Amino acid sequence: MDARIGPERGMAGSSITQEAAGRGDGMSNPNIELIRRFWAGYATGDLEALRESVLAPDAVWHVPGNHPLAGSHRGAEGITTYLEGLATGDFTADVWYAGADESHVVEVHHCVSHRGDGTDIDMDWVLVFRIQDGRISEIRHFPADQSAVDEFFSVLTENG
């Protein structure tokens, strides 16, 4: 089964919003809905809801790279701490595609992030979510240009 969600706009800084407007084949998939709830919780800052009903207690988010936010963030608490670190910048994201089966969601989005010093990063990303027992159990993050991500987030986190 394949399900799609349409553009998600308005994600900016710590006051991120997400419009979960559907388009495409009109099919509904519970795993796509789970990912929408994940981004909605992040967008509204409701990290407690993510810990309680979206992320598995032993979930892991693998973030590649050589920067302070890289690594395997373990547990729902570790993942929400990582998300708080991401919120230190200002960004927008457009979800281009999300496809799902019984145990995975693959999401493709375009993201533009801004730092306070005028530096931007503008690229495509792929996230692969593994779903178990109705919760996100694993996330793998794939940027289009890892060296640009390393440079951007190293400076961002060094300068707070």
37 belongs to a structural domain: yes
- Specify the 3-state DSSP secondary structure of 125: strand
Using the predicted structure, report yes or no on whether residue 4 has a pLDDT greater than 80. no
Assign residue 60 the CATH number of its domain. Answer: 3.10.450.50
Domain count for the chain: 1
pLDDT, residue 89, reads 64
Give the alpha-carbon dihedral of 23, 29, 35, 39, to 10 degrees: 40
Length of the chain measured in residues: 160
Categorize the per-residue pLDDT at 155 as very low, low, confident or very high, splitting at 50, 70 and 90: confident
5 belongs to a structural domain: no
Provide the sign of the torsion angle of the four alpha carbons 143, 61, 114, 33, taken in this order: positive
Provide the sign of the torsion angle of the four alpha carbons 93, 113, 100, 44, taken in this order: negative
Give, as one character, the DSSP assignment of residue 13: T
Using the predicted structure, report yes or no on whether residue 13 has a pLDDT greater than 50. no
Question: φ and ψ at 2, to 5 degrees?
Answer: -125, 130
129 belongs to a structural domain: yes
47 belongs to a structural domain: yes
Q: Tokens 């390393």 belong to which residue?
A: 150
**153 or 91, which is more confident?**
153
**34 or 6, which is more confident?**
34
What tokens were used for 82?
């990582």
**118 or 159, which is more confident?**
118
90 belongs to a structural domain: yes
121 belongs to a structural domain: yes
For residues 22 and 148, give the distance between their C-alpha atoms in angstroms, rounded to a whole number: 31
- Specify the 3-state DSSP secondary structure of 135: strand
pLDDT tens-place string over residues 62-121: 999 999 899 999 999 999 999 887 766 677 788 889 999 999 999 999 988 887 788 888
What tokens were used for 104?
């995975």
pLDDT, residue 136, reads 99
pLDDT, residue 105, reads 97
| Residue 48: count of CB within 10 angstroms of its CB | 11
pLDDT tens-place string over residues 110-150: 988 887 788 888 999 999 999 999 999 999 999 999 999 99
Q: Tokens 């440079």 belong to which residue?
A: 151
pLDDT, residue 18, reads 36
99 belongs to a structural domain: yes
CB 22 within 8 A of CB 29: no
67 belongs to a structural domain: yes
What tokens were used for 119?
């530096």
Domain span at residue 100 reads: 30-159
